[in-house]
Amino acid sequence: MPSSPLQLTSEHPCFGGVQRFYQHASTTIGLPMRLSVFLPAQAQQGRVPALVYLAGLTCNEETFMTKGGAQRYAAEHGLALIAPDTSPRGANIPGEADAWDFGLAAGFYVDAVQAPWASHYRMESYLVQELLPTVSQHLPVDGGRLGITGHSMGGHGALTLALKYPDLFRSVSAFAPICAPTQCPWGRKAFAGYLGDDSATWQAHDASALMARQTQAPFPQGILIDQGLGDKFLAEQLHPHLLEAACSAVGQPLNLRRHAGYDHGYYFVSTFMADHVAHHAVSLLHK
């Protein structure tokens, strides 16, 4: 087996398995990238399916593993967890840290085509073409049994990547996702900066628009989304009703659960984490 490009930076015993943090030199990004991986005890006996988690604005590869509380449930089901960073680090693009919702820690899981972002901000290609194949090759992870989930900006990423790469991801869920980024301030700002002013090109990165294009249900086993009704971003930024309508129009089963009082943070995410891991386990635990 070739030597691994994944450099282990730390590891911690966790629920009978191991929580690891890695960095590697990304050829797609052109910079070092960081990620975290939880391997359950079952990975000592062979390859295990994995759930990919994409974090939201201002977060990094540690956020989910320290705040999400998913390892307990992943250990019970025998699933690995994979969490990448949310953007390149060290690009040193002027102004990349000026706003919390664009640039650093806000890569939106797209490939930028606008200068100066296009040289490094290539998160979609990085995840699909480099990171997941690398993890599957060098860790005991079954690349043929992957699910994807995420929170907020990461929920947008999970939904859009699942819809664009249905042969890669068997299952999908999201927590408080940005469901129609072409129709909210966060999305319009990010897409204009990364993709340019032609809003027609933005549709390829909008979950509601992508779903509306489907001719049949892409995930007949269902999509799970949890949304807090006390979320201060719900009305202006998230628009789950638009995805709900698109799913209904194409016959895509959607379990959109609305929860009174819950806000946008990780107290909300961790509350419903067990249900999301179980949702993915149904699709991932058969060969």
Read off the pLDDT of residues 89-98 as tens digits, 9 standing for 90 and up: 999 999 999 9
CB-based burial label for 46 (10 Å; 0-12, 13-18, 19+): exposed
The catalytic residues are 152, 231, 264
> What does the pLDDT look like over 159-175, one tens digit per residue?
999 999 999 999 999 99
Which residues have CB under 8 Å from 30's CB, separation 6+? 88, 119, 120
Q: What is this structure's pTM?
A: 0.98
pLDDT computed for residue 2 by the predictor? 62
Q: What percent of the chain has pLDDT over 90?
A: 98
Q: List 147's β-bridge partners, or say none.
A: 51, 171
The two beta strands, 17-25 and 7-14, are antiparallel
* pLDDT mean over 107-131: 98
> What does the pLDDT look like over 211-262, one tens digit per residue?
999 999 999 999 999 999 999 999 999 999 999 999 999 999 999 999 999 9
CB atoms < 10 A from the CB of 251, how many? 11
Look up residue 67 and give its amino acid: K
The answer to whether 33 touches 53, Cβ cutoff 8 Å, is no
Largest CA distance in the chain: 51
Whether the predicted pLDDT of 12 surpasses 80: yes
Cα(51)–Cα(149) distance, rounded to whole angstroms? 7
Residue 208 φ then ψ, to 5°? -65, -40
* pLDDT mean over 4-16: 97
* pLDDT mean over 63-70: 98
Cα(108)–Cα(194) distance, rounded to whole angstroms? 9
Whether the predicted pLDDT of 1 surpasses 70: no
Nearest alpha carbon to residue 130 among 61, 58, 138, 56? 138
DSSP state of 237: I
